[in-house]
Structure 1
Amino acid sequence: MSSDTRDRLLQGTIDALRTQGIAGVSARTIAAAAGVNQALVFYHFGSVDELLAAAAMWSTEQQVAAYREPFERVRSLRELQKVGRELHTRESAAGNVTVLGQMLAGAQTNPAFAAATRDALALWTVEIERVLARVLADSPLGEVADVPGLARAVAASFIGMELLAAVDPEGDKAAFRALDQLGALLEYLDDLGPASRAAARRAVRTAVRRSVRA
């Protein structure tokens, strides 16, 4: 498979999603965006669905790679929020939030594309989980937090805020302010003395048990 042709088709698929929406994506629109003959879609990928799945993973891999180093430098939830804000701004400006929205829309009715979109988004979750495991290691929350589940919740919240920004910019800003307040609270917990930290751990464990029973 020609690497150049493959990359052009993958990028053409992302461009078609961005400009045509999932309903307008076809071998013809992808080929037009890529500047190639539409027969190459089937020659290299077999079907439009398979190309969509490959493009979702390819695009997300590139985005995650661009943020891997900033993620590795994160040492607090505040810093994670800062990286999240930067990611939010850059991805919106690049039109990638539009692509994400179309991927999620397509996933609602196409099980194969849903699986591909899930696997692509999981790349973000893996990076976030690594950050949270490091950041929460010495926190009162570290002993009781379900880090994999929390990573999924954080990823889902950022996805939601990215989509929200397009229709409710003020609501998006309010959501980020709320996260800032949560980050400040967790930093306060981290600064407590040993006795207070122990009390905080007990309180968190009690709250978790109550939520599980509820």
Structure 2
Amino acid sequence: MAKTTRADLLDAALRTIAERGFAGASARHIATAAGQNQALVFYHFGTVNDLIAAACRESTESRVALYRDRFDQATTFAELLAVGREVHVTEHAEGNVAVLAQLLAGARGNEVVGAAVADALNLWVVEVEKTLARVLAGSPLLPLVDRGGLARAISAGFVGIELLDGVDPAGATRALASLEQLAVLTETLLSELDNLGPVTSRLVKRKLNALTNP
């Protein structure tokens, strides 16, 4: 019974945020959406912020798990971008983008929710970084690239596209298309790096090394 009540409250917290915004996610509104007594919010989670934080973390864990096999199958930048497009379409259709926007807004100045949002976003970063390790495997660029930094840049780019889609769908579509073009260009450059000749290849690697190790 307790597990069901807890799950009901977690689900209701996200639905309330989607419908009423972060500011409207009060204990009363969440409990009403869950069909539960308001006191159970505090019994199970202590505070509304802790409930929202738990909902953010646990829902993201389940969402990432849905795509983990797809991430694991990606071995090129183009395939990674294809997974990103799939995530974009699905998460937008299910209303999760609206919740993300509200959570990001609510995280400002809210230490509990802010930490949860950061943890949740990092779950995506981990999957992207693992994929980058496969994409760059065998490439002379592997030791020169900050995979963690690049994974965060890619993840941040997708978060930005998700938020842009809410106000400018055409712009978000163009941004995704541009990223896919960039992925093709990057793969072409990587494949040709060893064909540049020893002198040019060393020069390119030296410049990249200077950028990554200033």
Interval of TM-score (by shorter of Structure 1 and Structure 2): over 0.9
Question: How much does 1:196 deviate?
Answer: 2.1
Any unmatched runs of 5+ in structure 2? Answer: none
Question: How much does 1:140 deviate?
Answer: 4.1
Cα 1:190/1:26, change in 2 over 3 Å: same
CA–CA distance in 1 between the matches of 2:44 and 2:212?
50
* 2:88–2:162 contact (8 Å) kept in structure 1: yes
Partner of 1:29: 29
AA paired with 2:103?
A: M
Instruction: Tell me the percent identity.
Output: 48
TM-score by length of 1: 0.93
Cα 1:210/1:59, change in 2 over 3 Å: closer
Question: How much does 1:24 deviate?
Answer: 0.3
Question: How much does 1:84 deviate?
Answer: 0.3
Partner of 2:141: 141
* 1:141-173 C-alpha deviation (Å, 9 max, x unpaired): 323110011111111000000000111122212
Any unmatched runs of 5+ in structure 1? Answer: none
Cα 1:89/1:197, change in 2 over 3 Å: farther
Cα 1:67/1:166, change in 2 over 3 Å: same
Give 1:159-170 correspondences, 5 Å limit. Answer: 159-170=159-170
Aligned residues: 213
* 1:12–1:31 contact (8 Å) kept in structure 2: yes
* 1:140–1:197 contact (8 Å) kept in structure 2: no
* 1:121-146 C-alpha deviation (Å, 9 max, x unpaired): 11111111100111112234323110
TM-score by length of 2: 0.93
* 2:107–2:113 contact (8 Å) kept in structure 1: yes
1:101 aligns with 2:111: no
Q: For residue 192 of structure 1, give the secondary structure of its aligned residue in structure 2.
A: helix
Alignment RMSD, CA only? 1.8
